[in-house]
Structure 1
Amino acid sequence: MMMTDTWTSCSPDWGNCERHDSCTMMQIFSLKLPYTSASISGPVQLYGYMAVRDLLNPYRNYIFNRSRDDPFIVEQEDGFIQMTGPKRGIRNDGYVLLEFDMKIKTGDEESDDLQLIDGVAYFNNLTIMNATEHKQRIDGDHGAVDITLLLLRSAVEATVQVGISDLEHGSGLSLRLTASYISSHFVLRERIQLFHGVVDPETCEQNKYVVAVPWKVILSLKLHISQIGGSHRSVEKFCLCSPRKHGHENLTFELGFATVKVKVTWSTLDIPRSLLGPDCYMYDFEAAEDLGLLNLMGLEEAN
């Protein structure tokens, strides 16, 4: 959300800013566990990490990050893996490196656990078609992970936050939050799986969920909210948002048993070098060379 605040340089004004540009971005749609070793039965306790590194910033941007003490329970019926990120938009003007080390908890000691997947992969914006779902299976020693992603040109960053208040006494909430795009230019089969689980009654606020939104495409957020306890009511709400380069918008739903507030914050990834810090790069090729991406992708001559 570094470019959310308006700038005096926005031209002709912040609402119609032509000074700050959209860019090509990657959107992760979902992570799934398609199969595991025959020796594993029942729910799978999954931990470890999956992260991306783009040429905007060399640090890990976690897609999944769970400790061994707090694994995610994967039901083998659907294989759904709850993502914990990304924490910012993924720029895909060049290469994106995917790094992963995910394990299955099977015993009391870490030495008893099974390695699911471990390694790296990379994606090139020239080899993935725009606005077309790209599914890749990452095979490992004791199973595999399916990742579905999308390349979107001329996109901006939307950060979605959901807050719960006025919760009916003695009840809780289950929330399923998904996102999709409404466009006359392309049709996608899947929705982006942002959150599916029970809302913590202590914090009553979910994490920040970052979505890449193409310019002139509507972002559709779907909230399926179910009351746990009480009268067990269930409702569905939709939010339709048009992309902006700066600013934010708020929506409030009074449900009777709770109040749900949705905040969408807009930003571009056209970030001035002065804000990126000393560990970032002015040019993509400098980042690729310094991170060793050129050698990894066979673009550097052997010595």
Structure 2
Amino acid sequence: MRIRKGEQEEDDLQLIDGAIDCELTTPSRPSTNRINGDCGAVDITLARVPGAVEATIDVIISKVQSGFSLSLSSFVFAGGSHQGIELFCGIIGESCGLTRRYVIAVQMGSWMHLKFNVGQKGSEYDDLERYCGFKADIHGCDCQQIIHEHASISLKVTWSIVR
């Protein structure tokens, strides 16, 4: 895993390299492990999700009127409880057609909720809190859009079978 730093691959920083020694069975409850590298660390959370489908989440931020703070989290049912996964936390500065893609395993037939917190640039996300729900399916896609004074946020979740 590398941290992109420049145009050329040789400019990038090596974050972690190699393999991790782990058990052949994955726990039902989520467990987080930290992998330390030369330029930082990566936290990896693992859980066994029986009957899982793959949710590919595309987030497109457009029509940015002014800079704002954005926090995006996903909540899925795993290991007997709803688990939160922080997908993005940062400042959106200008209209650039920002696109982010995330992939999450979701138990078939359960709901995945995406939570957005939007605030003025530098604030503590107090302007808007919004949830969008998507029911896990074998295939297909679902779309939702959030229109806010700061920007338009489009969501597309594409479902597919985990192989």
Shorter-normalised TM range: 0.7 to 0.9
Q: Pairwise CA RMSD of aligned residues?
A: 2.9
Q: 2:85 aligns with which of 192, 208, 219?
A: 192
Q: Which amino acid aligns with 2:4?
A: S
* 1:242 match: 135
CA shift for structure 1 position 263:
1.3
Q: Could you report, residue by residue, the CA deviation over 1:122-152 in whole angstroms, capped at 9, with x for unpaired residues? A: 445x42222x112223356787554322221
**Is the 2:64–2:95 contact (alpha carbons within 8 Å) kept by the matching residues of 1?**
no
**Is the 2:142–2:156 contact (alpha carbons within 8 Å) kept by the matching residues of 1?**
yes
- As a proportion of its length, which structure holds more strand? 2
**Is the 2:74–2:115 contact (alpha carbons within 8 Å) kept by the matching residues of 1?**
yes
Measured at CA, do residues 137 and 208 of structure 1 come closer, stay the same or move farther in structure 2, by a change above 3 Å? closer
Instruction: Work out whether 1:66 is the aligned partner of 2:15.
Output: no
Q: Which amino acid aligns with 1:150?
A: A
% same residue: 33
3-state SS of paired residue (1:153) = coil
* 1:12 match: none
Q: 2:47 aligns with which of 128, 136, 150?
A: 150
Measured at CA, do residues 67 and 186 of structure 1 come closer, stay the same or move farther in structure 2, by a change above 3 Å? same
Measured at CA, do residues 138 and 208 of structure 1 come closer, stay the same or move farther in structure 2, by a change above 3 Å? closer
**Is the 1:182–1:220 contact (alpha carbons within 8 Å) kept by the matching residues of 2?**
no
3-state SS of paired residue (2:86) = strand
Task: Give distance in 2, aligned partners of 1:143 and 1:253.
Answer: 34
CA shift for structure 1 position 180:
1.1
**Structure 1 alignment gaps of length 5 or more:** 1-48, 50-64, 71-100, 103-116, 271-303
Measured at CA, do residues 214 and 252 of structure 1 come closer, stay the same or move farther in structure 2, by a change above 3 Å? same
CA shift for structure 1 position 158:
0.8
Measured at CA, do residues 202 and 211 of structure 1 come closer, stay the same or move farther in structure 2, by a change above 3 Å? same
Task: Give distance in 1, aligned partners of 2:39 and 2:148.
Answer: 44
Task: Give distance in 2, aligned partners of 1:258 and 1:202.
Answer: 8
Task: Give distance in 2, aligned partners of 1:133 and 1:176.
Answer: 22
Measured at CA, do residues 182 and 145 of structure 1 come closer, stay the same or move farther in structure 2, by a change above 3 Å? closer
**Structure 2 alignment gaps of length 5 or more:** 8-13
* 2:107 match: 214
Equivalent pairs, count: 155
3-state SS of paired residue (1:120) = coil
- As a proportion of its length, which structure holds more helix? 1
Q: 2:32 aligns with which of 132, 135, 142?
A: 135
Task: Give distance in 1, aligned partners of 2:71 and 2:43.
Answer: 21
Q: Which amino acid aligns with 1:67?
A: R
* 1:91 match: none
CA shift for structure 1 position 239:
0.9
Q: From the CA coordinates, give the structure whose radius of gyration is larger.
A: 1
